[in-house]
Structure 1
Amino acid sequence: MMNDKGVTVQDYKDELAIELQNTLDYWSKHTVDEVNGGFYGKISNANTVDGTAPKGAVLNARILWSFAAAHNLNPVHDLRLADRAYQYIVDHIIDQEYGGVYWTVDYQGRPLDTKKQVYALAFTIYALSEYFLAKGDEVIRDHALRLYRVLLKHSFDAEHGGYLEAFNREWQDMDDLRLSNKDANEKKTMNTHLHVLEAFTNLYRIWPDAGLKMQIIGLLNDFQHHIIDPNTSRMHLFFDERWNSKSNIISYGHDIEASWLLLEAAEVIGNHQLAEDIKKLAVKMADACLEGLDDDGALWYEKDPSANHIVKEKHWWVQAEAMVGFYNAWQISGCHDFLTISYKNWNFVKQSILDRQNGEWFWGVYEDGQLMAQEDKVGLWKCPYHNSRACIELIKRIK
């Protein structure tokens, strides 16, 4: 298959293999904290290290997943940084007393923000499952299963379905449930449900338990019946415990990301009817995201329909998800336009998001094309996961 400029999918695959190696090399070279252990919690856009920054559960889990997944794709990628991330998570991030994971520890590995954010717990399960696939050590799977069980015990809403957002260290209710300052303070969120689904899907690969399968089916039903608007094929972002929507913001990046993650979940558990239903939904979701595409192939950040305002920033993670999501839509539908969009998005990344001087991907660019230079290169949210996963996922899909 060739695009309008004569570039084949094999060319695409070859470029992504190089970029995956570049990404892993950056994290190996720049992020290892040889003084205090683990990885630095913050590195600026210009590669200035903040050696006293907090170290996040999500950052460490995503490092673990990225290096384990790269090794599982091709053993030429070694596991040394995955081993390091795993040991740091076990020694410092997992709460050995109350279960779950801390949101952050300080730069020396001492508990800092001890709230139990289910999002962070999900990413740790996701990463441990991938690492087990690489190592085969039952102790790793045991860690993942303990985290899964504590998540179900405290977060699963048996009455209304879905998962509650956050708790204090002792798993009691708390006032501030927000994942970040940008989020609404609500009991259920699309974002946490999406990554609980992703975590459970990866866990099912190493532990095909009937109860876990039912949880995955329940999550897929939550997306179809509560989270995705049947009229627009777009997701609502925030909810109360009864699934009443509390926001009308459209997140283009999350919509295109969910379009392929939902299908992956249905396929991994072998539910063919759900998979066929979600294939149709995935194409509709990709279609709905076309509104957020710029002429250069990049996908904008979000839209507020009530103000008819689009935030036309182009964030690194949104582009990574667009590369996979539109490719997935092409695989399902055969519509060549989706493949062309995936190519164009990668070209935008090469031109505007790759930091060819200092390595890794910039956070993004503003509407006028100016670099978002004040944002992290490494941080609580800036991790190797979205870009490495896009490379890994597309390499696996391109035959």
Structure 2
Amino acid sequence: MQPEQLKQQLYNELLSILDYWMKHTVDEINGGFFGKIDNANDVYATAPKGAVLNARILWTFSAAYNAINNEKYLSIATRAFEYLREHFIDKEYGGVCWTVDFEGKALDSKKQVYALAFCIYGLSEYHLVTKNNEALNLALDLYKTIEEHSYDKQYKGYFEAFAKDWLEMDDLRLSAKDANEKKTMNTHLHIIEAYANLYKVYPFEDLKNKIAELLELFDTYFIDHKTWHLRLFFDEQWNEKPNVISYGHDIEAAWLLLQCAEIINDKKWIKIYKQYAVKITDATAEGLDKDGGLWYEYEPLQKALIKEKHWWPQAEALVGFYNAYELTGDDKYLQQAVNTWQFIQQHILDSSHGEWFWGVKEDNSVMQKEDKAGLWKCPYHNSRACLEIIKRV
């Protein structure tokens, strides 16, 4: 398959993803978007609504409007913006609630910095297409809030989570599967992604310096220069707490960190991350199955693969391998991007009910108990993969 053909297929897939979210997820009774939908498209109307889901819908439909200029996309983005502003922004303590109930009342008011980052990401994208100054000001407020409460002035980097009033709390984890540590690669990756998106619409020196510092932190701590996988969990003094290898995060970081360096036009880091992008992509290839799919994780201590193929690592692999093809001109990377897309078409796309399944097990049977839409299952990874390939081709 040639790049133009891949681009056309992913353009069609992007339209399909966006149509799904417009058709099935809008909550006309209580506002915003439903908090949970299963594989049969059954709606759980009283499920909690998450800040991450709302912010990712905001980013997705803003970015889609920027690419395609369909007014329906702008209307969904505006709905997400207004719901975020009215229900997730904590007007008393700053930051955003983690979840609200189905009627929009604060439910879990902890301050997960990951969620603040995604709100910056979505708000800055919305400002890009609308020039809405309220969205920009909210994004800047959240940036200042992260810097005030989460930035480690002694050792650098960002602390993971806080209680509602920004006091310390015991359980810092994003999800039950994570290690309970003060600094994580995942949150830092999405802070730099958010900061770079904010820099695109509102460049200023302090923000540029923060992005460059994050690129340095990735180089120093998160990237393992022996294996070229990413280290995931640390204490506040940057002592690593060894955990799994996450192939999806490896390949996402491979292209995303380079993009952040390019956004701030830092020639030193661009040169470095062009080299790292290929090395990290090659390390990720250890997690590829012969059918083109990317395994979820590897546990080094047990020497065991977690034999599931989730939707989002496949989406990130599309971009990561195509990015390596652009950097090297080596057709093997293009072929792997195509193989990944073919695996997605065969096993991850839900041809009956729309959108992408959460994932498949080792035998390619669908993971039925997971969400089609939910706190974590959002239109961000797959739509962004489509948008990135469209733009790059």
- Give the TM-score, by structure 1 length: 0.97
Kindly report which structure 2 residues correspond to 1:1-399, keeping only aligned pairs within 5 A, or say none.
7-76=1-70, 78-398=73-393
Tell me which amino acid in the other structure corresponds to 2:144: R
CA distance in 2, matches of 1:113, 1:248: 27
CA distance in 2, matches of 1:381, 1:44: 13
For residues 305-329 of structure 1, give each alpha carbon's deviation from its aligned partner in whole angstroms, at most 9, with x where no partner exists.
1111011210000100000000001
- Share of identical aligned residues, percent? 57
CA distance in 2, matches of 1:142, 1:290: 41
CA distance in 1, matches of 2:164, 2:360: 37
For residues 331-390 of structure 1, give each alpha carbon's deviation from its aligned partner in whole angstroms, at most 9, with x where no partner exists.
111211111000000000011111111000000100111110111000000000000000
Structure 1: gaps of 5 or more residues:
1-6
Tell me which amino acid in the other structure corresponds to 1:110: K
Q: How many residues align?
A: 392
CA distance in 1, matches of 2:60, 2:245: 28
- Deviating beyond 3 angstroms after TM superposition, the runs of 4 or more aligned structure 1 residues are none
- Aligned-residue offset at 1:247: 1.9
What SS does structure 2 have at the residue aligned with 1:306?
coil
What SS does structure 1 have at the residue aligned with 2:30?
coil
- Aligned-residue offset at 1:272: 1.1
CA distance in 2, matches of 1:54, 1:341: 38
- Aligned-residue offset at 1:68: 0.2
- Give the TM-score, by structure 2 length: 0.99
What SS does structure 2 have at the residue aligned with 1:310?
strand
- Aligned-residue offset at 1:87: 0.3
CA distance in 2, matches of 1:339, 1:35: 45
- Aligned-residue offset at 1:145: 0.3
Tell me which amino acid in the other structure corresponds to 2:30: N
Tell me which amino acid in the other structure corresponds to 1:105: V
For residues 95-116 of structure 1, give each alpha carbon's deviation from its aligned partner in whole angstroms, at most 9, with x where no partner exists.
0111100000000000000000
With 56-65 and 133-142 compared, the bigger mean Cα shift is at 133-142
With 380-389 and 74-83 compared, the bigger mean Cα shift is at 74-83
CA distance in 1, matches of 2:222, 2:156: 12
Tell me which amino acid in the other structure corresponds to 1:34: E
CA distance in 1, matches of 2:274, 2:375: 33
What SS does structure 1 have at the residue aligned with 2:203?
coil
Structure 2: gaps of 5 or more residues:
none
- Aligned-residue offset at 1:48: 0.6
- Aligned-residue offset at 1:76: 2.8
Tell me which amino acid in the other structure corresponds to 1:45: N
